[in-house]
């Protein structure tokens, strides 16, 4: 079958992936377009595609080799199908967790890996392991560890910048604003202006973006692992130092000229500019100082091989003698591959029919109100349901927080009890065009360091709670105590996606709804016995959440069958991969033993015949030398033969010996990667020490 078959495979697989993960890819696209932290995601597909392109000859060579050998077909199908099935199980399970996006993106990577194995073989999964693993970087904007690292970085950056400016005798003070470190500078007008060194300003986004390009350049470059490690470390130190210089220069200009001129320069020297400059310097440093070949491949002159032309004329994919891959455009894989493509497309069609959005969509008609008109008394009653014994009221709109977090709306409502012997329940609603702009409570209050290095809160309980079973919706309960006020608070919050009217147009927006209760008030009213009885409030919070969710009318429900087995999704995913790996390992061991026994038997017969035949003696000698050398090309074997026997072996005769030995299972081919080039080497199938 012609290699142009991939013109059919690639579109079918791509469309299957897009269809199955459409809602998750939409979330990614929203983050790329609206959130600076996720902007690097836009480059990931192109960098991954280029890395795969660089590996194209390895993939084609492995396909050609496996086509010649006609083995591993069962193992390939089992592993490929199990990976795709595991991805499906993990996808369904993720919909019933709070970290939906993280699970779905891991599922996406596993599914792509399964398609690679199913259509190109197990060994090509190894060849493409780094580009596929590169896709896991999609998860960074949603990981708490990323925010925690960024918060620690902001503290370190502000401290270093403050020390530098103090050493230069500039009038600065190190304070904090809303939990983030800030450096206060005196302007020419005498005004004290704080520059908040939050996560983006500290260079976290620049470092993440630089990490992507640094790993990419390290992967495609040529050099020793030690030099590459030194190169990467130097690059990170470089861009971090450049960011500190940017902040310091901004503060100095603020003091000498003014804040407006300084902020103009600050945005001019944005993260993208820093990444470009740091990448350029990193490439030059690698090329000139560390002698790492980054932009161009070494021009290696290939020696002439007398058997290459003969092998090409015989329609061989590889040269038997030098191991060179002829980059043939004709590959003849198993005919069932076309059936696999059809089956894959059919399964993905079923998945599309079963799936629900990553976040439950709502269709209540209150969303027809303009997004900016959700603050009045009438709008409050339409936006939130009336609960028995409680009346919803609007409290205020936090416009300052909206500007800082770049949200469309940040609204606070209260369910005011009609009976004064009960405590009020607050409801916070945050609306944004990007999911990652709606930060989790524990990140804002606990993960990110606060004023003077102390925490704003002390966490008590953090756990996920299943609010709705069908459609699945999981919230998170975060109970904590404020350090300063000593108040204990419980927050149950969840995410949804709704269509809002904005002016004359409509747009989808992500919504984070939080139900907030102050436990001290509930102790005073006697609704709970003590602050440690916070678990008694869980059912109340879940009941309120369910009323709000049902009021907003989720769009689509899952089938009962999927809901029933979804809880086993994670276990099924792990069991599937372990079971398939065990089966493949057993098949591999069985085949290896059979091949080894057959090779040993043939070798013994050959040894007996060698007492009478000079040709068989040469074959035995070649095999023994190959066993001593390990994997090698025939050209390397010829040199060793001359060194060991002090005789020169005829090249064509050696080629005949190699083909003869391979035919009887005494030796076999193995593809190796030499600086990005596929080369065939030979190894023995015989264990001489048995």
pLDDT tens, residue by residue, 399-442: 888 887 788 888 899 998 888 788 999 999 998 888 888 888 88
Q: Which residues pair with 674 in a beta bridge?
A: 677
In this structure, the chain runs to a length of 690
> CA 399, CA 405: separation in Å to the nearest integer?
10
Q: Is the pLDDT of residue 679 over 60?
A: yes
Q: How confident is the model at residue 358 (pLDDT cuts 50, 70, 90)?
A: low
Domain 595-684 has CATH 1.10.10.10: yes
Share above pLDDT 90 across residues of the chain, in percent, rounded to a whole number: 4
- Select the highest-mean-pLDDT range: 21-30, 306-315, 606-615: 21-30
Tokens representing residue 624 in the block: 């023994």
> CA 566, CA 470: separation in Å to the nearest integer?
11
Q: Which of 5-9, 94-98, 504-508, 547-551 has the lowest mean pLDDT?
A: 5-9
307-to-287, 311, 382, 447, 470 alpha-carbon distances in Å: 37, 6, 82, 65, 67
* Residue 398 · residue 425 · CB < 8 Å: no
DSSP string, 453-467: G--SEEEEEEEEEEE
pLDDT tens digits along 471-515 = 778 899 999 888 888 889 999 999 988 777 666 666 778 889 999
Pairwise pLDDT comparison (306 vs 226), residue with the higher score: 226
The predicted model gives 194-211 an average pLDDT of 71
Q: Which letter does DSSP use for residue 313 in this model?
A: H
Domain boundaries defined on the chain: 1-25+41-138+335-356+567-594, 165-217+234-288, 365-557, 595-684
φ/ψ (deg, to 5) at 209: -60, -40
Q: What is the pTM of this model?
A: 0.77
* Residue 494 · residue 548 · CB < 8 Å: no
Helices (H), 298-451: 308-313, 336-354, 377-383, 399-405, 441-442
Beta strands in 78-236 (DSSP E): 172-177, 180-186, 192-196
**Cβ contacts of residue 560 below 8 Å, gap of 6+?**
470
> CA 372, CA 330: separation in Å to the nearest integer?
61
Which one, of 612, 577, 616, 601, lies nearest residue 686 by Cα? 601
Buried b (16+ CB within 10 A) or exposed e, 13-42: beebbeebbebbbebbebbbebbbbbbbbe
Which residue reads 């290896």 in tokens? 592
pLDDT tens digits along 131-155 = 988 888 888 877 777 777 777 777 7
> CA 431, CA 497: separation in Å to the nearest integer?
9
Tell me the chain's radius of gyration from C-alpha atoms: 32
Q: Is the pLDDT of residue 661 over 80?
A: no
Q: How much is the pLDDT for 517?
A: 92
Q: Is the pLDDT of residue 613 over 90?
A: no
Share the mean pLDDT of the chain. Answer: 75
* Residue 118 · residue 159 · CB < 8 Å: no
Pairwise pLDDT comparison (176 vs 50), residue with the higher score: 50
């Amino acid at each position: 079958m012609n290699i142009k078959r991939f013109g059919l495979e690639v579109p079918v697989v791509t469309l299957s992936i897009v269809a199955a993960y459409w809602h998750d890819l939409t979330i990614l696209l929203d983050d790329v377009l609206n959130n600076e932290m996720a902007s690097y995601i836009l480059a990931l597909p192109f960098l991954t595609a280029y890395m795969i392109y660089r590996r194209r000859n390895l993939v084609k060579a492995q396909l050609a080799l496996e086509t010649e050998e006609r083995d591993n077909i069962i193992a390939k199908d089992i592993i490929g199908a199990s990976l795709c099935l595991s991805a499906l199980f993990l996808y369904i399970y993720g919909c019933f967790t709070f970290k939906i996006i993280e699970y779905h993106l891991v599922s996406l990577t596993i599914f792509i890996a399964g398609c690679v194995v199913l259509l190109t073989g197990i060994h090509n999964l190894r060849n493409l392991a780094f580009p596929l693993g590169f896709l896991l970087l999609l998860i960074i904007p949603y990981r708490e560890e990323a925010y925690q690292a960024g918060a620690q970085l902001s503290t370190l950056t502000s401290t270093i910048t403050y020390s530098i400016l103090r050493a230069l005798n500039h009038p600065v003070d190190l304070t904090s604003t809303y939990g983030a470190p800030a450096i206060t500078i005196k302007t020419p007008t005498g005004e004290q202006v704080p520059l908040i060194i939050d996560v983006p300003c500290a260079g976290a986004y620049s470092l993440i973006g630089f990490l992507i390009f640094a790993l990419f350049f390290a992967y495609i470059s040529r050099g020793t692992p030690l030099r590459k490690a030194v190169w990467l470390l130097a690059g990170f130190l470089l861009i971090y130092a450049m960011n500190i210089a940017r902040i310091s220069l901004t503060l100095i200009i603020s003091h000498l000229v003014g804040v407006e001129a300084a902020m103009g320069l600050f945005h001019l020297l944005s993260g993208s500019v820093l990444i470009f400059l740091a990448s350029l310097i990193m490439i030059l440093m690698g090329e000139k100082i560390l002698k790492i070949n980054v932009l161009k491949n070494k021009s290696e002159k290939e020696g002439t091989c007398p058997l290459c032309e003969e092998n090409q004329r015989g329609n061989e994919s590889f040269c038997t003698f030098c191991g060179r891959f002829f980059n043939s455009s004709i590959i003849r894989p198993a005919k069932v591959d076309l059936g696999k493509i059809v089956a894959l497309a059919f399964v993905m069609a079923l998945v599309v029919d079963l799936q629900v959005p990553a976040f439950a969509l709502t269709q209540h008609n209150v969303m027809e109100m303009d997004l900016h008109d959700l603050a009045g008394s009438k709008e409050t009653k339409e936006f939130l349901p009336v609960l028995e014994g409680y009346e919803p009221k609007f409290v205020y709109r936090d416009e300052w927080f909206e500007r800082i977090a770049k949200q469309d709306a940040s609204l606070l409502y209260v369910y005011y009890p009609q009976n004064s012997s009960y405590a009020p329940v607050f409801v916070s609603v945050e609306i944004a065009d990007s999911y990652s702009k709606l930060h989790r409570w524990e990140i804002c209050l606990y993960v990110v360091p606060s004023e003077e290095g102390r925490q704003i809160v002390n966490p008590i309980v953090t756990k996920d709670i299943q609010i709705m079973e069908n459609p699945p919706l999981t919230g998170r309960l975060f109970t904590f105590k404020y350090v300063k006020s000593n108040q204990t608070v419980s927050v149950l919050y969840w995410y949804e996606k709704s269509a809002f009217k904005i002016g004359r147009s409509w747009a989808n927006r992500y919504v984070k709804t939080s139900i907030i209760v102050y436990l001290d008030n509930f102790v005073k009213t006697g609704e709970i016995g003590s602050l440690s009885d916070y678990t008694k409030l869980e059912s109340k919070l879940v009941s309120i959440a369910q009323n709000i969710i049902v009021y907003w009318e989720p769009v689509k429900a899952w089938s009962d069958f999927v809901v029933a087995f979804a809880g086993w999704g994670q276990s099924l995913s792990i069991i599937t991969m372990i079971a398939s790996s065990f089966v493949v390992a057993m098949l591999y061991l069985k085949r290896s033993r059979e091949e080894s026994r057959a090779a040993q038997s043939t070798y013994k017969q050959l040894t007996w015949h060698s007492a009478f035949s000079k040709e068989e003696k040469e074959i035995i000698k070649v095999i023994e030398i190959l066993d001593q050398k390990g994997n090698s090309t025939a050209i390397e074997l010829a040199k060793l033969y001359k060194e060991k026997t002090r005789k020169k072996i005829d090249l064509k005769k050696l080629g005949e010996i190699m083909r003869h030995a391979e035919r009887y299972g005494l030796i076999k081919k193995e593809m190796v990667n030499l600086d990005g080039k596929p080369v065939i080497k030979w190894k023995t199938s015989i264990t001489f020490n048995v």
